[in-house]
Structure 1
Amino acid sequence: MQIEIWSDVICPWCYIGKRRFEQALAQCGQRKDIDIIWRSFELDPNAPQQHPGTLNELLARKYGVSAQQAAEMNARVSGVAQQVGLEYRLANARPGNTLAAHRVLHFAAARQQGELALERIMHAYFCESLPVGDHAALAQLAPQFGIAENEVLTMLASNDYRAEVRADESRAAELGITGVPFFVFDGKTGISGAQPVEAFTEILKQA
């Protein structure tokens, strides 16, 4: 079975969905016939490298709500994240353009370290205040998934892996994917959103 998962590293529901999916896999046993492919999706391709201000302020502008309402939204999401063992610190999150992060993920995947890199970058953004658009900050994480800092900086200074990110996004558009996380099982069955563990378990058992 091939499972493709479109996500963005700054999407709080993507990290929650990742954890729930992992729990479903564990419940079904780590089947060797499952091939998981993580695909790139940018929620805001036109975002600046680093947004000024806080995530609460950004969400308030985006959705036309007060900073207090945005903080309450983040608190609710953080509560859900806590249920799957994630300690979000969204008040300190440093959002920005995620193209560089997705390029790093493709770079890591080419070295069979893609899933480890995804986990590390997501955790750093949501729980450790990683400035997600900062090339140097991304490079500093690289040794934790088996790649030297200077290799990541050299890659990001080139055009490498831009085409791979765009190919993932083009495929998402072809499939009509407009939000993430989005899971596609064997190119046929699609599931949108951070579904309950039981929903993932049901599909995995049917395969």
Structure 2
Amino acid sequence: MTALFSPRTPGHLRVDIWSDIACPWCYIGKRRLESALAQFEHRDRVEVVWRSFELDPAAPPALDQTMGEVLAKKYGRSPAQVQAMMDQVTAVAAAEGLSYHFDRARLGSTFLAHQLIHHAALHGQQGDMKERLLRAYFSEGARMGDLETLTALAEEVGLDSAAARTALSEGRHADAVRQDEAQAQALGISGVPFFVLGGKYGVSGAQDPQVLLGALQQAWAEVQPPALVTLGDADHAGACEDGVCAVPEPAAR
């Protein structure tokens, strides 16, 4: 059986985040976490790990429908209502410094893009790759199921394009994506973004930075080793060190 989380590293806090590239709230959540980390005094000892989650695992590599058409069908709303929904999310994103263009979004599977994030993680570029994919999808209208597009984006963040192409073509990280998704199911995660701090605390949704900051502080306090307070004589009487035990001399009679 595979453990959901690796052993904790003393003095560090790991934040696992399940999210999808095609999720507008996931990009907003990423920015809000970054805002929280900027206020967190131990931010240099926080490790962020991006986990895969597909909102539509059955999606084909490409869809010809627009975002508005898909949302209208999914929620049974009129085109005007759907546009109002997208405008609202666009405004929330803008408040976080993000530029959303739903009219450019090219829908389809994100499975290949998640594999690219795992590939980037092997080269210490996971965070950069995640950011580039999100911007490409929401701001530039890039297709996340297109091998050529993903290879070019990988090269932009400093990855070897030939190695990235081979990894994606051969599906080398497909199992890693499926394992992330299996872990999400085991944890009962049904919506994203979902943050797990220190392998213990879960935060659902793109919460306000202050909420995330509070979660970081609480998780940090619990993953730290207990402080050691020494009581007694400095010569450690009655203690064993390196196989030698100090035995007090009997009192004179």
Matches of 1:159 and 1:101, distance apart in 2? 11
Aligned residue type for 2:40? C
Is 1:121 aligned with 2:128? no
CA deviations on 1:14-43 (whole Å, 9 max, x unpaired) are: 000000000000011462321211100000
What's the counterpart of residue 183 of structure 1?
195
The residue aligned with 1:82 is 94
In structure 1, the residue matched to 2:216 is: 204
The 1-side partners of 2:86 and 2:135 are apart by: 16
Q: Which of 21, 44, 60 is residue 56 of structure 2 equivalent to?
A: 44
Matched, 1:131 2:116: no
Contact residue 60 and residue 70 of structure 1 kept, 8 A: yes
Distance in structure 2 (CA, Å) of the matches to 1:75 and 1:64? 18
Aligned length, in residue pairs: 207
Give matches, 1:21-170, under 5 Å: 21-29=33-41, 31-170=43-182
Give the secondary-structure state (helix, strand or coil) at the position aligned to 1:115: helix
Q: Which amino acid aligns with 1:184?
A: V
**Structure 2 Cα separation of the partners of residues 151 and 188 of structure 1:** 36
The answer as to whether partners of 1:71 and 1:91 remain within 8 angstroms in 2 is no
Structure with greater helix percent: 1
Please say if residues 115 and 171 of structure 2, whose CA atoms lie closer than 8 Å, have aligned partners that are also in contact.
Answer: no
Partner of residue 12 from structure 1, selected from 16, 19, 24: 24
- Structure 2 residue 227 is matched with structure 1 residue 193: no
Alpha-carbon distance in structure 2 between the residues aligned to 1:168 and 1:8: 12
Structure 2 gap ranges (5+): 1-12, 221-253
Letter in structure 1 aligned against 2:100: Y
1:138 CA drift (Å): 1.0
> What is the aligned-residue identity percentage?
45
Deviation sequence 1:117-170 (CA, Å, 0-9, x none): 000000010011111211111111111111133322222211210000011001
The structure whose Rg is larger is: 2
Determine helix, strand or coil for the equivalent of 1:92.
Answer: coil
Query: For the residues of structure 2 that align with 1:105 and 1:11, how far apart are their CA atoms?
Result: 15
Taking the aligned partners of 2:126 and 2:36, their CA distance within structure 1 comes to 20
CA distance in 2, matches of 1:111, 1:182: 24
- Compute the displacement of 1:177 (Å): 0.2
Decide whether the 8 Å contact of 1:57 with 1:67 is kept in 2.
yes
* Alignment partners' CA distance in 2, 1:191 and 1:137: 32
Amino acid across the alignment from 1:52: D
Q: Give the stretch that moved more between structures: 99-108 or 197-206.
A: 197-206
Q: Which protein has greater RCO, CA pairs closer than 8 Å, 6+ apart?
A: 1
Give the whole-Å Cα distance in 2 for the aligned partners of 1:30 and 1:60. Answer: 44
